[in-house]
Amino acid sequence: MATKEGTKNRAPILTYHSIDNSGSIISTSYEKFIRQMNYLTDSSFRVISLEEITTCILENRPFPSKSVAITFDDGYKNVYDIAYPVLKEKGFGATVFVIPEYCCGYDQWNRQGKRIPQLELLNSNEISEMARNGIDFGAHTMSHPDLSKLPLDKAAAEILTSKAAIKNYSGKEVQFFAYPFGRQTKEISKIVKKEFYGACSTELGFATLRSDIYSLPRIDMYYFSRNNFFTWIETSLFSHYIRLRNMLRILKGT
């Protein structure tokens, strides 16, 4: 039996990638995305920023009731074409983590495989417009490498150069970072801690007041792309499902 869970002690950070109908492992269909955003509206959820989540953690202050944050990794153009108008209409903010080296181009970094379609990415004008209308932009490195496999000087350049490029596109300070593939080392974390207010990982789980603000867990929305389990978000069933998915992830080594 599903029971309601307290929402002041945890905050789901939702992670989307591409909003498209390909059915790939990074894709959420437009229909599913709009249903999920409508559910948040109809259920009176409050969409808050990563900055507010991080500040609550630093101050040990409960998250606002029924809080959720929205993020998009990689900066696909369909975020501008499809997701952004929906967010704007609803008054929802979000953080988009972009990869400047590929802006105006396609998702051709080295992780691309047969299961992921070639998709167009945001350009600087689209980033600038979104930044003027309630969307935050974070750094995701210049070229999406596995930072843990790079010499430290090259990893630092990936991080710092991307931060400067995104500030130039958006006209705003870049406060948050997302680790490509979720991979980091102590040395890389030191750089990120010096340069950013917080950072997101790929760990599957909820942000809590005990979370490391430089390795915030998130909810990968791929796991809700083919079902309606998202409507369980206030219940214990949602937590059980996330724990199950996390166990399966660990077993698969991903």
Instruction: Write out pLDDT tens, residues 36-91.
Output: 999 999 999 999 999 999 999 999 999 999 999 999 999 999 999 999 999 999 99
Type of residue numbered 171: G
The confidence band for 5, taking pLDDT boundaries of 50, 70 and 90, is low
Give the chain's mean pLDDT.
Answer: 93
C-alpha span between 88 and 98 (Å, rounded)? 19
Q: Is the pLDDT of residue 1 over 70?
A: no
> What fold is seen in the domain 10-252?
TIM Barrel (3.20.20)
As a whole number, mean pLDDT of residues 17-35 equals 95
| 22 CB-side CA count, 13 A | 15
- Note the pLDDT tens digit of each residue in 222-250: 999 999 999 999 999 999 999 999 888 87
Q: Which SS3 state, helix, strand or coil, does residue 151 take?
A: coil
Q: Is the pLDDT of residue 138 over 60?
A: yes
C-alpha span between 211 and 247 (Å, rounded)? 19
What is residue 4's predicted lDDT score, i.e. its pLDDT?
A: 63
As a whole number, mean pLDDT of residues 202-209 equals 94
As a whole number, mean pLDDT of residues 204-219 equals 96
What is residue 253's predicted lDDT score, i.e. its pLDDT?
A: 66
Nearest in space to 171 (alpha carbons), one of 132, 198, 203, 212: 132
107, 61 in Cβ contact below 8 A? no
C-alpha span between 217 and 167 (Å, rounded)? 25
What is residue 114's predicted lDDT score, i.e. its pLDDT?
A: 57
What is residue 43's predicted lDDT score, i.e. its pLDDT?
A: 96
Buried b (16+ CB within 10 A) or exposed e, 86-121: bbeeeebbbbbbbbbbbbeeebebeeeeeebeebbb
Question: Could you state, in order of their start, the residue ranges of all structural domains in the chain?
Answer: 10-252
Output the CA–CA distances (angstroms, integers) from residue 88 to 84, 85, 149, in the order listed: 6, 5, 38
What is residue 252's predicted lDDT score, i.e. its pLDDT?
A: 74
The confidence band for 109, taking pLDDT boundaries of 50, 70 and 90, is confident
What is residue 6's predicted lDDT score, i.e. its pLDDT?
A: 56
Output the CA–CA distances (angstroms, integers) from residue 208 to 55, 62, 213, 239, in the order listed: 12, 9, 10, 13
